[in-house]
């Protein structure tokens, strides 16, 4: 494989990047990938950006200069199509440079699911299937922040964009044949909006299903704790669990500490919870939950029980049958989490809006309890 790898330009200055981009037309299809590290920080650390267009390839060093201003006009503002594979983490990593993401995104993993190749297909498997090349993934866990990169790392990084062009062309044709192009574009836009949202989830407690049966005041207190954890983790640039692990957050919501020493005893071992943060957290926990906080807290959807569980059992075969008719993975047509949320809350989930709503709304609504 190494002798067959096309050469890539190593770019470590803004002038070199602008020169490389000069020849790329505004309506081009550009392959893009990133290498990043996320070991002890809240934000992923961009370590390398790879671009590919017209059999030209670039490895761009974001540690050497600010690449955002040069990259944004083409990727973020023009009519160029940015081709990526499983783009969610890459988009999150790029969000400081591209706050709204690429203007146009083509995610090859999503496209593969729409054309009958399965849900969550890896880039390596997709390359093998469509290009007939077996990729070596030996550098997946290597240190991308080191300089200089090894020859093996550069080869690996280049190959991550070399095959995006033929994959994009084949998947675009297959999407058109199945009349799924609009659906795919909609899901790519949804992915972009979700991954580029940097303010944090305003209702983080909804992911804590173990608290679904709690009184509303305790759910609101859990939300208060989780919002503080998110804000503080962003400020310190440390992983959320380093401040408060999930189990501790639930414990503090159920039984708030009565003294600062009580909080200190219960929070030992939290790597980023230093004295200033512990003091701030204690002061956060002292005030009782207000009615306004309760009103602002979305109720945590629990696991389906009783009639909701029966409705879920009736909906699943309907979705499976429709998925077979459409030749779509059931999980792409209707993610299980969204379906469970629907039967519990009876409110149509945002995740099922768009093209899914037209297919599913009438069918599923008729099966709701009562």
Work out the angle between the directed axes of helices 336-345 and 306-326 (0-180°, nearest 10). 140
pLDDT band at 2; cut points 50, 70, 90 = very low
In sequence order, which residues have a C-beta less than 8 Å from that of residue 40 and are 6 or more positions away? 238, 239, 242
Closest CA to 50 of 148, 140, 160, 138: 160
Model pTM above 0.75: yes
Q: What percent of the chain has pLDDT over 90?
A: 92
Least reliable range by pLDDT among 127-141, 156-170, 176-190, 240-254: 127-141
Where exactly are the structural domains of the chain? 2-195, 204-296, 306-365
CATH class of this structure's domain 2-195: alpha beta
Structure tokens, 334: 């209707």
Given a cut of 50, whether residue 367 has pLDDT beyond it is yes
pLDDT on residue 1: 41
> Looking at residues 249-256, what average pLDDT do you find?
98
Cβ(101)–Cβ(93) under 8 Å? no
pLDDT on residue 137: 77
Which contacts of 169-174 are long-range, i.e. CB under 8 A and separated by 24 or more positions? Answer: 170/130, 171/106, 171/108, 171/111, 171/112, 171/115, 171/130, 172/106, 172/111, 174/111, 174/115
CATH class of this structure's domain 204-296: mainly alpha
Mean pLDDT of the chain: 94
pLDDT band at 197; cut points 50, 70, 90 = low
In sequence order, which residues have a C-beta less than 8 Å from that of residue 100 and are 6 or more positions away? 76, 192, 196
Given a cut of 50, whether residue 3 has pLDDT beyond it is no
> CA dihedral defined by 95, 101, 102, 106, rounded to 10 degrees?
110
pLDDT digits (tens, 9 = 90+) for 23-77: 899 999 999 999 999 889 999 999 999 999 999 999 999 999 999 999 999 999 9
**3-state DSSP call for residue 269?**
coil
Cβ(168)–Cβ(83) under 8 Å? yes
The reply to whether 204-296 shares the fold of 2-195 is no
**Cα–Cα distances in angstroms (integers) from residue 30 to residues 10, 65, 83, 120, 130, in the given order:** 17, 21, 6, 22, 18
> Looking at residues 276-281, what average pLDDT do you find?
97
């Amino acid at each position: 494989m190494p002798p067959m790898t096309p050469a890539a330009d190593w770019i470590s200055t803004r002038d070199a990047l602008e020169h490389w981009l000069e020849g790329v037309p505004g309506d081009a299809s550009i392959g893009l990938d990133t290498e990043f590290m996320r070991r002890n920080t809240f934000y992923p650390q961009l370590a390398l950006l790879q671009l590919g267009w017209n059999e030209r390839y670039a490895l761009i060093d974001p540690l050497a200069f600010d690449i955002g201003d040069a990259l944004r006009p083409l990727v973020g503002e023009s009519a160029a199509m940015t081709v990526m594979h499983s783009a969610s983490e890459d988009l999150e990593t790029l969000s400081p440079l591209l706050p709204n993401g690429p203007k146009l995104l083509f995610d090859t993993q999503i496209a593969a699911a729409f054309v009958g190749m399965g849900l969550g297909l890896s880039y390596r498997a997709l390359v093998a299937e469509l290009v007939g090349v077996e990729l070596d993934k030996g550098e997946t866990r290597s240190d991308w922040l080191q300089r200089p990169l090894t020859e093996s790392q550069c080869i690996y990084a280049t190959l991550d964009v070399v095959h995006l062009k033929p994959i994009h062309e084949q998947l675009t044709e297959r999407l058109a044949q199945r009349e799924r192009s609009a659906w795919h574009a909609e899901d790519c836009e949804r992915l972009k909006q979700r991954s580029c949202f940097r303010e944090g989830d305003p209702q983080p407690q909804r992911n804590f299903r173990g608290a679904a049966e709690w009184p509303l005041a305790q759910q609101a207190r859990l939300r208060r704790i989780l919002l503080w954890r998110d804000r503080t983790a962003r400020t310190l640039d440390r992983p959320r669990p380093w401040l408060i692990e999930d189990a501790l957050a639930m414990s503090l919501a159920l039984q708030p500490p009565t003294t600062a020493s009580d909080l200190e005893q219960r929070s030992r071992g939290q790597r980023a919870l230093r004295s200033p943060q512990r003091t701030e957290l204690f002061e956060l926990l002292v005030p009782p939950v207000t009615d306004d906080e309760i009103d602002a807290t979305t109720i945590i959807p629990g696991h389906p029980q009783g009639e909701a569980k029966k409705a879920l059992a009736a909906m699943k075969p309907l979705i499976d049958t429709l998925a077979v008719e459409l030749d779509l993975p059931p999980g792409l047509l209707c993610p299980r989490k969204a379906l469970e949320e629907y039967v519990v809350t009876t409110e149509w989930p945002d995740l099922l809006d768009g093209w899914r709503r037209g297919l599913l709304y009438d069918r599923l609504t008729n099966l709701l309890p009562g």
